[in-house]
Amino acid sequence: MALSGMRGLSVFISDVRNCQNKEQEHLRVDKELGNIRTRFKNEKGLTPYEKKKYVWKMLYIHMLGYDVDFGHMEAVSLISAPKYPEKQVGYIVTSCLLNENHDFLRLAINTVRNDIVGRNETFQCLALTLVGNIGGREFAESLAPDVQKLLISSSCRPLVRKKAALCLLRLFRKNPDVMNVDSWSDRMAQLLDERDLGVVTSSMSLLVALVSNNHEEYWSCLPKCVRVLERLSRNQDIPQEYTYYGIPSPWLQVKTMRALQYFPTIEDPDTRRSLFEVLQRILMGTDVVKNVNKNNASHAVLFEALALVMHLDAEKEMMSQCVALLGKFIAVREPNIRYLGLENMTRMLMVTDVQDIIKRHQAQIITSLKDPDISIRRRALDLLYGMCDVSNAKDIVEELLQYLSTAEFAMREELSLKIAILAEKFSPDLSWYVDVVLQLIDKAGDFVSDDIWFRVVQFVTNNEDLQPYAALKAREYLDKLAIHETMVKVSAYILGEYSHLLARRPGCSPKEIFSIIHEKLPTVTTSTIPILLSTYAKILMHTQPPDPELQNQIWAIFRKYEGCIDVEIQQRAVEYIELSKKGAALMDILAEMPKFPERQSSLIKKAEDTEADTADQSAIKLRAQQQNSNALVVTDQHPANGTPPVSHLGPVKVPTMSNVDCDSVDQRETQSNGSLTVVDPQPPSPDVLGDLLSPLAIEGPQPADYQSDHNLGAGVKGAAIAEEALALAPIEEQMNTVQPIGSIAERFHALCFKDSGVLYEDPYIQIGTKAEWRAHHGRLVLFLGNKNTSPLASVQAIILSPSHLRTERSLVPETIPPRAQVQCPLEVVNLRPSRDVAVLDFSYKFGTHLVDVKLRLPAVLNKFFQPISVSAEEFFPQWRSLSGPPLKLQEVVRGVRPMPLLEMANLFNSFQLVVSPGLDPNPNNLVASTTFYSESTRAMLCLVRIETDPADRTQLRMTVASGDPTLTFELKEFIKEQLVSIPIAPHAAAPPVPPQPQPTSPPPPSSDPGALLAGLL
C-alpha cells in the first residue's frame, strides 16, 4: 500500500509544507494532533487503514520535532495486526517513536517473539529489525536463543539471517551473557564462509563487536577474515550487485579490515603472508580516478588498509610506503583526502620509527593550519600537537601562538590548552616556557583556564633560576595599557613573591611595583582582589628598611577592605593588618612560598580527560595500548625522545590522584563537614589555588602527608572494582577514581524523611529519586542524569531487595546520552515489617572510569507509616488490650542523644509517628501513634510511649505496642536507631566497605542478598 494511497497523509504533508512560517506550522500540527487524538479515543470505529494513516502522521509530526506523547499504544498494537502492511507500519513507527525503556514495548514482546519464531519470513525480518534497533535487556534474555538459531539455520534464507546477525549484535551488547562463547566462536567462523555477501556483511559487524570485547575466543575467525578479504580483492564469486563502481563491496572490505585490527598480531605465517599480499596490492594499486564515487570508494578501502598496516606493525619498507602515501595526501587539492591524510598521519604517530619521516612534512602541515576549512585545521592542530617534541617544539608552538589570534572561538580554548601543554612538556629552557604562557594569557586570556596560570606559578616557584626572569617579564606586561585579568593575577602573584629580586632595575622599586599593580585593582573582579592583597602584604614585607609612606598606603587599603562583603577579601585584609603588627614575625609568616611537591601536571591530566571523553572502544585505542607504542601523544611528562618504555596512549590515571591533590587543609575540611571535596565537574583539576594560598593565609608549609582519603568508603569500592574490571577488559578499565559529591550516607538519611531529592552524585552522574507511598505500595522513580557532554556507557542498575520488599523495576538503558536524564520507575510492595534496606547496585562507565556504587534506597520502614492521631478514649483501651510481650515490648535505652522533649517530638513526627500531646499526664513522657501498612499485617495501629528522665537525658524507657509481634520488635528497634545515633550519619562510624575477598566470584548464596548488602553498608 503506497502512501499515495493515503490521501489524508499527503494532504497533511503538503499543508505543512505550504505553511509560511513556524507558527502556522505549529497550528496545523496542533490541529492534526487534536484530530488524531479524538480519532484514537473512539478507537472502535477505526479501520486498520485509518489507524495506519494516523500512525504515519504521528511519525511525520515527530520527525518535525514535535512531541507526540500519545498514540504509542496504537502504534504498538499495529504490530499484532495480521496483515503485512499494518504490521510493517506498526514495527517501523514503534522503533522510531519508542525506546527500549518504554513500557508499551513490553506489551509487544510476545507478538515479536511469535513473529520471530513463526514461519513467515517477512514477519521475521520486521521483528528482527525492531529488536535489533530498540530491543533491551529483557528482549536479550528472552529472545537470544531464537535469534541465534535463525542465524545459523540452514533452512533460513539470507534475508532473514543477515537481520538475525545484527539483531544478535544488539542483544549481545545489551547482555553479553546471552552468547555462549565456547560454542559460538566456531559458528562465527562458519558464518564468514557464507556465500551470500549480505550475511557476511552483517556477520562481520557482529564479529567486530565480539572481538572488541574478547579477541582471544575468536582466533579461528582470523584466517576467515583474511579469506573474505582475498575473495573481495580478487573479485572471486562477487555478484555484480555487490560491486560498487567496479569495486567489490567496499563496505565489507572496510569492515573486514576493521575486524582484523582487533587481533593483536597474526602469528600464522601463511595467513600473514596472504594478508600482506592483499594489503600491498591495495597500497600500490589504488589510483586516483576521475569518477568521484569510485575514487572515494577505493580510498575508503585504502585508508582502512593503511590503518591495518599500521596496526600490524609491518616491515619498515611498507611503513614508509604508508607515510609516503599520507605525505602525498596531505598536499592534494581534494579536501576530503587532505583531511583524511592528516587524520591518519596523526594515527601513524603511534607507530615506531616513523616520526622522523613525518616531521619532514611539518611545513605542509603548518600550511593546513591556515586552511579555510575548520575541519582540516582541527586535524592539522591535532597532528602538530602529536608530532611535537623537543626538537620542533619552538617552531610548532610559535605557529600555534600565531594561529591563536586568528583561530575561531570554538577552537581557542583547546588551542590554548595544547600550547600550554607543549610548552611545558618540551620546553628547551624554562624561560621560554614562561614566555609562551605569558604570551598565551596576553593573546587569549579568556580561553586560558586557571590551571594554566597555576602551573606557571608552580614552575617559577620550584625553579629559583627562573624567578628573576619571570618577575621581569611580569613587570613588562604590566606596562601594557589593557591586560587581561588573568595576567593581572599571575603577574601580581609573581611580583609579590619575587619583585625584590628586581629591586635595582629602573621602575622596579617596591613603590613603583606596588603602584603599577594597584592601578589594575579597579579593573578586576573579586576573585583577583585577594591575590592583590597578598601581593601588597608581600611587597611590604620585602621592603627593607620599611618605607612608612608605602606602609600607610597599603594599610589604608587593607582597612578599606576590612569591611568588605566578600569573606575572602575581608579575612585577608583583617589578617594582614594584624600580621603587620607582629613586626619581625611577619617576615617568617610571609616568607617566600616553599616549593610545591612534584606532581603530574593538571593540564596534562585535563588533556587526557578530554581524550577519554571521546574514547570509545575503538580499535586504534586498543591497539595503541596493546603495543605500548612510544607515541608522541603520550601522557607521560618526559620529553618524547626519552622514549620511556611504559608510555601509553590512553589515559594513564594516577589512581590516588585525589589523595595527592588534597592538601592537609582540604582534608581537615573534609573531616569537619563530612562531605567530599570534589565539587568541581572536572575532578582531576587540583585545587592549586588552595595550594598557593593556604600556607600563606593559615600556616607554614604543610608536610606532604598523603593520608588516604577516608571518606571514600561509603560509596566507592575501588580495589574490588579495579580487579573485576580488569578481568573483563584488561586494557580499558582503570581504577575507580570517581568520587561522589556529598556524603552518600547523608543523602540517604535525608531521603528517609522526605520523598524527593538527590540520592547520589558524582562528577558524571546525578541520581535523584522521587517517591510516592500509598499504604503498603510505593512507587519510587530514579532519575539518572548524565551531567556530561558524552554518553555514560554500560549503565547497570540492579536492585537487591530484602525479602520483605517486592520490587519491580523497569528497564534501564545501557547508555545514558549526553546531558540526558533517564527515568527508571521502581514499584515497591511491602510484604511484612522489617528494617532491612533495599540496595541499588549501580554501575556505569565513563571514558575509562568504571564506577560502581551500592546505594541504599530510601524504601525504609517509616515510608509505610501513615500518621494517625488518636484520642485518649481510643488510645488507652488499645494500649491495655495489647498486654505484654511479644505484642508490647519495653526497653530501657541508654546512650540516647540528649535532646529536648520538643525536638524528640519533632523527630517522631518527621517519620510519621505522630505525637499526641497531653495524652500522657506526665510532661516528661511522649505518646505517639501511627498506622503501619504491609501485605501481611494490612493496616495496623502502632502505639509508642517514651518516658524520659529529666535528670539524665541520655536514657529513657520506651514501650512499643502493635498487633503484630514482628512489627512491634522492628518498630522498637527502628526508634532506637533514630534516638541513639545521630540521624544525619548513623553509619558514619562504619568502616569503609571492605573489598570483597573475591570480587569476581558471585556473592555467597543467600536467600536475601539485599539484607546482606545492607548489612555491609
Partner 1 sequence: MGIRFILMVNKQGQTRLAQYYEYLTLEERRALEGEIVRKCLARNEQQCSFVEHRNYKIVYRRYASLFFLVGVDNDENELAILEFIHLLVETMDRHFGNVCELDIMFHLEKAHFMLEEMVMNGCIVETSKANILTPIQLMDKAS
- Which residues are known binding-site members? 7-8, 49, 53-57
Q: Does 157 bind partner 1 (CB under 8 A)?
A: no
Q: Tell me how far apart the alpha carbons of residues 634 and 648 are, in angstroms, rounded to a whole number.
A: 6
Residues 358 to 387: which contact partner 1 by CB under 8 A? 372-373, 375-376, 378
Alpha helices in 870-964 (DSSP H): 872-881, 901-910
Out of 51, 162, 475, 856, point to the residue binding partner 1 (CB under 8 A). Answer: 162
Residues 439 to 458: which contact partner 1 by CB under 8 A? none
Q: Does 140 bind partner 1 (CB under 8 A)?
A: no
Instruction: Give 29 or 828: the residue with its C-beta nearer to partner 1.
Output: 29
Taking alpha carbons only, the member of 757, 820, 755 closest to residue 785 is 820
Is-contact 850 725, C-beta < 8 A?
yes
Q: Does 64 bind partner 1 (CB under 8 A)?
A: yes
Q: Does 462 bind partner 1 (CB under 8 A)?
A: no
Rounded to a whole number of angstroms, the minimum distance from the CB of residue 727 to partner 1 is: 24
Q: Which residues of 838-873 are buried (b: 16+ CB within 10 A; e: fewer)?
A: bbbbbbbbbbbbbbbbbbbbbbbbbbbbeebebeee
Q: Tell me how far apart the alpha carbons of residues 294 and 301 are, in angstroms, rounded to a whole number.
A: 11
Report which secondary-structure segment, H or E, holds 853: strand 849-856
Helix then strand then coil, % of the chain, to nearest 5: 55, 10, 35
Question: Of 164-172, 548-556, 761-769, 915-923, which part binds partner 1 (CB under 8 A)?
Answer: 164-172
Question: Of 634-642, 723-731, 786-794, 988-996, which part binds partner 1 (CB under 8 A)?
Answer: 786-794
Is-contact 323 387, C-beta < 8 A?
no
Q: Does 4 bind partner 1 (CB under 8 A)?
A: yes
Is the preceding peptide bond at 510 cis, omega within 30 degrees of 0? no
How are beta strands 805-809 and 793-800 bridged, if at all?
unpaired
Residue in this structure with the C-alpha cell 495480521, named with its chain if needed: 82
Q: Does 469 bind partner 1 (CB under 8 A)?
A: no
Rounded to a whole number of angstroms, the minimum distance from the CB of residue 598 to partner 1 is: 33
Partners of residue 770 on adjacent β-strands: 756, 781
Q: Does 122 bind partner 1 (CB under 8 A)?
A: yes
> Which amino acid is located at 878 in the chain?
Q
Q: Does 338 bind partner 1 (CB under 8 A)?
A: yes
Q: Does 59 bind partner 1 (CB under 8 A)?
A: yes
Rounded to a whole number of angstroms, the minimum distance from the CB of residue 743 to partner 1 is: 31
Rounded to a whole number of angstroms, the minimum distance from the CB of residue 167 to partner 1 is: 8
Q: Which residues of 536-561 are buried (b: 16+ CB within 10 A; e: fewer)?
A: bbbbbbbbeeebeebeebbbebbeeb
- CA 882 to chain centroid, in Å, comes to 55
Q: Does 815 bind partner 1 (CB under 8 A)?
A: yes
Q: Does 626 bind partner 1 (CB under 8 A)?
A: no
Instruction: Give 307 or 870: the residue with its C-beta nearer to partner 1.
Output: 307
Q: Does 1 bind partner 1 (CB under 8 A)?
A: yes
Q: Does 681 bind partner 1 (CB under 8 A)?
A: no
Out of 284, 798, 820, 990, point to the residue binding partner 1 (CB under 8 A). Answer: 820
Helix axes 485-498, 450-462, angle to 10 degrees: 20
Is-contact 368 387, C-beta < 8 A?
no
Helix (H), strand (E), coil (C) string for 962-999: ECCHHHHHHHHHHHHHHHHCCCCCCCCCCCCCCCCCCC
Q: Does 618 bind partner 1 (CB under 8 A)?
A: yes
Q: Does 81 bind partner 1 (CB under 8 A)?
A: no
Q: Does 336 bind partner 1 (CB under 8 A)?
A: yes
Q: Does 817 bind partner 1 (CB under 8 A)?
A: yes
Out of 27, 30, 84, 701, point to the residue binding partner 1 (CB under 8 A). Answer: 84
Size of the site for partner 1 (CB under 8 A): 87
Rounded to a whole number of angstroms, the minimum distance from the CB of residue 315 to partner 1 is: 24
Rounded to a whole number of angstroms, the minimum distance from the CB of residue 1 to partner 1 is: 5
Helix (H, G, I), strand (E, B) or coil at 75: helix
Report which secondary-structure segment, H or E, holds 809: strand 805-809
Out of 163, 475, 500, 856, point to the residue binding partner 1 (CB under 8 A). Answer: 163
Helix axes 292-312, 335-348, angle to 10 degrees: 0
771 burial via Cβ count (<10 Å: 0-12, 13-18, 19+): buried
Residues 246 to 275: which contact partner 1 by CB under 8 A? 249-252, 254-255, 258
Q: Tell me how far apart the alpha carbons of residues 336 and 305 are, in angstroms, rounded to a whole number.
A: 17
CB within 8 Å of 834: residues ≥ 6 apart: 802, 803, 804, 805, 861, 966, 970
Q: How many C-beta neighbours within 10 Å does residue 324 have?
A: 12
Q: What would the grid cell of residue 598 be?
A: 612534584
Rounded to a whole number of angstroms, the minimum distance from the CB of residue 630 to partner 1 is: 21
Residues 169 to 198: which contact partner 1 by CB under 8 A? 169-170, 197-198
Out of 129, 431, 463, 981, point to the residue binding partner 1 (CB under 8 A). Answer: 129
Q: Does 813 bind partner 1 (CB under 8 A)?
A: yes
Q: Does 167 bind partner 1 (CB under 8 A)?
A: yes
Q: How many C-beta neighbours within 10 Å does residue 585 have?
A: 10
Rounded to a whole number of angstroms, the minimum distance from the CB of residue 170 to partner 1 is: 5
Q: Does 100 bind partner 1 (CB under 8 A)?
A: yes
Rounded to a whole number of angstroms, the minimum distance from the CB of residue 309 to partner 1 is: 15
Q: Does 798 bind partner 1 (CB under 8 A)?
A: no
> Which amino acid is located at 60 in the chain?
Y
Q: How many C-beta neighbours within 10 Å does residue 662 have?
A: 22
Q: Tell me how far apart the alpha carbons of residues 666 and 684 are, in angstroms, rounded to a whole number.
A: 15
**DSSP label of 703:** P
Instruction: Give 164 or 1013: the residue with its C-beta nearer to partner 1.
Output: 164
Q: Which residues of 627-656 are buried (b: 16+ CB within 10 A; e: fewer)?
A: bebbbbbbbbeebbeeeeeebbbbbbbbee
Q: What is the per-residue binding string for partner 1 in 395-434, x denoting contact by CB under 8 A? A: ----------------------------------------
Q: Does 159 bind partner 1 (CB under 8 A)?
A: yes
Residues 213 to 242: which contact partner 1 by CB under 8 A? 239, 241-242
Q: Does 60 bind partner 1 (CB under 8 A)?
A: yes
Q: Does 796 bind partner 1 (CB under 8 A)?
A: no
Residues 594 to 613: which contact partner 1 by CB under 8 A? 613
Q: Tell me how far apart the alpha carbons of residues 301 and 257 are, in angstroms, rounded to a whole number.
A: 9
Residues 297 to 326: which contact partner 1 by CB under 8 A? 297, 299-300, 303-304
Instruction: Give 472 or 816: the residue with its C-beta nearer to partner 1.
Output: 816
Q: Which residues of 667-703 are buried (b: 16+ CB within 10 A; e: fewer)?
A: beebeeebbbbbeeeebbbbbbbbbbbbbbbeeeebe
Out of 8, 48, 85, 986, point to the residue binding partner 1 (CB under 8 A). Answer: 85
Residue positions counted in the chain: 1017
Q: Tell me how far apart the alpha carbons of residues 43 and 25 are, in angstroms, rounded to a whole number.
A: 27
Q: Does 327 bind partner 1 (CB under 8 A)?
A: no
Q: Does 205 bind partner 1 (CB under 8 A)?
A: yes
Rounded to a whole number of angstroms, the minimum distance from the CB of residue 95 to partner 1 is: 8
Q: Does 845 bind partner 1 (CB under 8 A)?
A: no
Rounded to a whole number of angstroms, the minimum distance from the CB of residue 815 to partner 1 is: 7
Out of 280, 296, 462, 925, point to the residue binding partner 1 (CB under 8 A). Answer: 296
Instruction: Give 153 or 614: the residue with its C-beta nearer to partner 1.
Output: 614
Question: Of 59-67, 506-514, 794-802, 1006-1014, which part binds partner 1 (CB under 8 A)?
Answer: 59-67
Instruction: Give 129 or 981: the residue with its C-beta nearer to partner 1.
Output: 129
Instruction: Give 232 or 678: the residue with its C-beta nearer to partner 1.
Output: 232
